[in-house]
């Protein structure tokens, strides 16, 4: 019984991995069941047996993608330098995909679903990473807004893609920005 349940779980993971791969590699957020099945190495019937419908599969893939992103961005508490290094590594892996989804979000409902969750996740990440240095009360939301901007995928794009700066320099520049935002004498 255990071997069978393990095989079922592995097949399900392969199918979800196929959907995510088509999204990340081909930027295809609306793949056909046939394309998913071929990439996963299973039949269309197997895909449907695991997920019921294509929409249920795509919804599960969005959740699986969100979980992957959360795992990629886990950082030690109170270590902003490590957090920024982790963030830039995440952008190196998923930044081009994120930028493409942001470009499509006004005209593509699936892209908008991905970016809405991503924006919420990033803001929560900022609040967690910088929690010790954020004041309570007045001004907190404004500081979080500024930290979100300083650590956003667009900041990575400007520094890494447009300026061709290496990852460690991008981390340093983001650290300079976040320190400036959080400086006690900031006006």
Yes or no: say if 23 and 71 are a contact pair by the CB < 8 Å rule.
Answer: no
pLDDT of amino acid 174? 98
Q: Which of these ranges, 19-33, 38-52, 156-170, has the smallest mean pLDDT? A: 19-33
pLDDT at 156 over 90: yes
- Which burial class, exposed, middle or buried, applies to 167 when counting CB atoms under 10 A from its CB (0-12, 13-18, 19+)? middle
Kindly report the pTM of this predicted structure.
0.85
- Per-residue pLDDT reduced to its tens digit, 85-144: 999 999 999 999 999 999 999 999 989 999 999 999 999 999 999 999 999 888 999 999
**Distance separating alpha carbons of residues 102 and 112, to the nearest angstrom:** 8
CATH numbers and ranges of domains, the chain: 1-62 (1.10.10), 73-187 (no CATH)
pLDDT of amino acid 76? 78
- First-to-last CA distance in the chain? 65
pLDDT at 37 over 90: yes
Long-range contacts of 78-83 (CB under 8 A, 24+ apart): 78/132, 80/129, 80/130, 80/133, 80/175, 80/178, 81/171, 81/175, 83/129
Q: What are phi and psi of 94, to 5 degrees?
A: -120, 0
pLDDT of amino acid 2? 80
Best CA proximity match to 30, nearest among 114, 135, 129: 114
pLDDT of amino acid 186? 59
């Amino acid at each position: 019984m255990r071997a069978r349940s393990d095989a079922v779980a592995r097949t399900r993971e392969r199918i979800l991995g196929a959907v995510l791969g088509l999204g990340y590699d081909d930027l295809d957020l609306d793949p056909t069941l046939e394309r998913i099945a071929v990439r996963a190495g299973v039949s269309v019937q197997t895909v449907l047996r695991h997920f019921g419908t294509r929409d249920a599969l795509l919804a599960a893939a969005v959740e699986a993608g969100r979980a992957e992103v959360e795992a990629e961005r886990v950082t030690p508490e109170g270590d902003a330098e490590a957090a920024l290094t982790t963030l830039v590594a995440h952008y190196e892996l998923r930044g081009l995909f994120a930028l493409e989804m942001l470009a499509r979000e006004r005209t593509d409902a699936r892209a908008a679903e991905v970016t809405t969750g991503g924006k919420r996740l990033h803001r929560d990440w900022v609040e967690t990473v910088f929690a010790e240095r954020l004041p309570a009360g007045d001004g907190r939301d404004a500081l979080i807004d500024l930290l979100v901007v300083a650590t956003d995928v667009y900041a990575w794009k400007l520094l890494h893609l447009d300026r061709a700066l290496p990852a460690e320099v991008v981390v340093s520049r983001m650290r300079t920005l976040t320190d400036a935002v959080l400086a006690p004498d900031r006006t």
